[in-house]
Structure 1
Amino acid sequence: MPKMSACSDSKEADLAHKTTLTLYSPRPWQVFQRQSMRTGKVLIDGRLADRADVVEVKFTGRSAGGALDGRWRRAKLDRASRAFRLSAQLPAGGWYSLEVRARVGGETVASARAEKFGVGEVFVTAGQSNSTSCGQFPTKQRSGMVSAFNGTQWKTATDPMWGAYDLIGVSPTELIVYAGGSPWLSFGDAMYKRYGVPIGVAVTGQGGSSVLQWQPGEDVFAWMMTRIWQLGAGGFRAVLWHQGESDCEMPPGQYCEKLARVIEASRAEGGWAIPWSVAKVSYRGPDLPRLDSMRVEFDAIWESGIALAGPDTDTLGGDNRDDDGKGVHFSPKGLRAHGRMWANVIAKWLGKP
């Protein structure tokens, strides 16, 4: 019997050495948007370099409801292209691990693993500097459960958040301006504390941008839409919009009209009814902490039903702002408060865990 086992192990190792398995999905730190509060679909996608009879996958890890069952499941294998795929319904939670094996005649000829992915809540963020990484100092997440997506890769979220239009085509000197803190680590931590699932954030904003720069056909709008297409229909919960400081001098009614056009175009081009949550933003500094003529524009957006009410960040003054309270960007304290405000308003419409 020992000789048979040794022979079998040698044969399997030899076969595995000759065959390659490439796994495209899931990626490390990837968060898949859950379809209900309890479950979501995880896409397994890959290709073999050589033939196989079957491809099987196994998930391990713990969800909020307990350990995953760890059973082997068969993926759909196209023998002509040697591509394999499976859309697996998993409990919300993470981080999870995946094992994939290809077998010929009962022997494993190729294998691969994916680590640290999960099923939770994903958000696209857009707007100007206070939606990106222009806070006074970088912050850190505390949960270890917040991921960031830049369009090609996922990683554990850190400040400055990658993926923003801020970081495209600017000089090294300008880049320093956008290397501060964001509200999204605090937001993710607060969401994880409330819901117990991984949180994914795709930042797309541009510092100093006007709503005019976000109009359909403009580069920044296209940048945001690319992220929306990459995540796919139903692939994220909502777009979170924080912008307005640059547009406080617009004629009455124009901001509401221009932002509505952005929202409607995103849904038309995205191909689904993307929820939007819009913050109330008019803070111009401690001497002008709120501009009522601008605030009514956000009231009109909310009352029209085209977008959900976001946080009122005009309320964050004093030491919540940088430059000893004299700036328009947020201090670390303000960034944490800003993130918690987003989590609180989203919880009102997302509901209980």
Structure 2
Amino acid sequence: MKHAFLLALNLCLAAAACARPDTVYVTHGAAHTPRVELADGHAIESRPMRGDTLTAGGVCFVRLPRLRLVLCIGQSNMAGRGLMDAGAADTLRSVYLFNGDGFERAAEPMNRYSTVRKELGMQRVGPVGSFAARYAEVTGAPVGVVVNARGGSSIDEWLPGSETDYLAKAVERIRAAGDWGDVAAVLWHQGEADSAHPERYEAKLRRLVGILRTELGNPSLPVVFGEIAHWNWTNRVEGTAPFNAMLRSLRIPHTACVSAEGLAPMKDETDPHFSAASQRELGRRYAEALLKLR
């Protein structure tokens, strides 16, 4: 693990030292660089990739080691609604974000490349960045996050039989990233749209987990899900307590539930969304939960 961490770190430093304007990452097994279209209409043609870095036409090509891929799905808190702040501009060491064609250095908003998202301006700070940074730090392995969340979605919209079937789109997305590494886990943060009916949710979540494991070919694939906000934004007397109690009580093999205790709202207690600081804390809790499932 230490060797993998140092390799990823050295590759990142090599990328930073290369000529601008761009850095293009290539898979660990790539024999050639991809063809790159330039803004002026010209292109950098593919050429042999004999080492871990190659500079051509002002573009630095960097070969990444094999990534630990993590699929991050759910509704708005996974998509990220925390206000963009100074920390959101940072790229994350040893963390890469899937953009549909390949991976790039990860920075907020992490859900910007989602194939099912709402408008780009709604995508802000979520838990994915802090999760991946902590997970990479502890494991010493580079992390590739595939983020495909949809704000406002119910769990029914994620399951087969719905018109949307967001889960199929998420599976398609993580498969598209398959040449870059192996799927290490799925993070699921959703439930605000279903919080009034916790009694209906367990069977649906079990089904969702089962589909993911079947489609991704791993019956023990770790899945971590998180509680929704503890404050009562629902206008129901019972608030979110029954829903969160249901999540905590679930006993699905190779899964874990992350607490939202002590987290703060983005705006006020009429808002189900976590603040940027709380999103980052939530992400670190996701990482710690996944590390215990290893």
- TM-score scaled to structure 2, two decimals? 0.72
SS of the aligned residue for 2:196 comes to coil
SS of the aligned residue for 1:237 comes to strand
Residue 147 of structure 1 and its aligned partner are, at CA, apart by 0.9
Does the C-alpha gap of structure 1 residues 271 and 347 become closer, same or farther in structure 2, counting only changes over 3 Å? closer
Number of the residue aligned with 2:143: 199
Number of the residue aligned with 2:207: 261
Cα distance in structure 1, aligned partners of 2:156 and 2:195? 12
Residue pair 1:142, 1:189 contacting (<8 A) in 2 also = no
Number of the residue aligned with 1:295: 244
Residue pair 2:247, 2:257 contacting (<8 A) in 1 also = no
Structural mapping, 1:1-353, within 5 Å: 28-29=24-25, 42-46=28-32, 58-60=50-52, 97=53, 114-115=61-62, 117-137=64-84, 139-141=88-90, 143-161=92-110, 162-167=112-117, 170=118, 174-176=119-121, 178-218=122-162, 219=164, 220-232=166-178, 235-250=182-197, 252=199, 254-273=200-219, 275-283=221-229, 285-286=231-232, 291-301=240-250, 303-305=251-253, 307-313=254-260, 315-317=261-263, 320-324=264-268, 326-350=270-294
SS of the aligned residue for 1:236 comes to strand
Per-residue CA deviation, residues 129-154 of structure 1 (Å, 9 max, x unaligned), is 11112222252446432110033232
- What letter is aligned with 2:30? I
Which structure has the higher relative contact order (CA within 8 Å, separation 6+)?
Answer: 2
- What letter is aligned with 2:189? H
Residue pair 1:29, 1:147 contacting (<8 A) in 2 also = no
Residue 296 of structure 1 and its aligned partner are, at CA, apart by 3.8
For these two proteins, the number of residue pairs brought into alignment is 250
Cα distance in structure 1, aligned partners of 2:141 and 2:33? 29
Residue pair 1:216, 1:262 contacting (<8 A) in 2 also = no
Cα distance in structure 2, aligned partners of 1:47 and 1:127? 34
Does the C-alpha gap of structure 1 residues 115 and 175 become closer, same or farther in structure 2, counting only changes over 3 Å? closer
SS of the aligned residue for 1:330 comes to coil
- What letter is aligned with 2:68? E
Residue 217 of structure 1 and its aligned partner are, at CA, apart by 4.3
Q: Which has the higher strand share?
A: 1
Structure 1: tracts of 5 or more residues without a match:
1-26, 33-41, 49-54, 61-96, 100-111
Residue 249 of structure 1 and its aligned partner are, at CA, apart by 1.5
Q: Which has the larger radius of gyration?
A: 1
Cα distance in structure 1, aligned partners of 2:192 and 2:239? 10
Does the C-alpha gap of structure 1 residues 146 and 325 become closer, same or farther in structure 2, counting only changes over 3 Å? farther
RMSD of the alignment, in Å? Answer: 3.3
Structure 2: tracts of 5 or more residues without a match:
1-22, 35-46
Does the C-alpha gap of structure 1 residues 113 and 332 become closer, same or farther in structure 2, counting only changes over 3 Å? closer
Per-residue CA deviation, residues 277-328 of structure 1 (Å, 9 max, x unaligned), is 2323232645669634212432343x132x4103112x143xx321156532
